[in-house]
């Protein structure tokens, strides 16, 4: 894995932390899962 820095709004942070808590995963894992979903909907090219 590589390390990147991402800035999010306070609302995004709150929502990510809530989801992470409910799913019992880290915020980083929550973001990785969200990226996977986004990328799956995009066409390559």
pLDDT digits (tens, 9 = 90+) for 1-28: 999 999 999 999 999 999 999 999 999 9
What is the structure's pLDDT at 12? 98
Residue 6 lies in a domain: no
Residue 29 lies in a domain: yes
Residue 5 lies in a domain: no
Domain extent, residue 15, equals 11-41
Residue 44 predicted with pLDDT over 90: no
Residue 38 predicted with pLDDT over 90: yes
Residue 3 lies in a domain: no
Count of structural domains within the chain? 1
Residue 4 lies in a domain: no
Question: CB burial class (10 A; 0-12, 13-18, 19+) of residue 16?
Answer: middle
Query: What's the average model confidence in pLDDT over 20-40?
Result: 97
For residues 20 and 30, the answer to whether their CB atoms sit within 8 Å is: yes
What is the structure's pLDDT at 45? 62
- Count of CB atoms within 10 A of residue 40's CB? 7
What is the structure's pLDDT at 18? 98
């Amino acid at each position: 894995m590589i390390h990147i820095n991402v800035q999010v709004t306070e609302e995004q942070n709150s929502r990510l932390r809530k989801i992470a808590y409910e799913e019992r995963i880290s915020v980083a894992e929550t973001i990785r899962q969200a990226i996977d979903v986004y990328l799956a909907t995009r066409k390559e090219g």
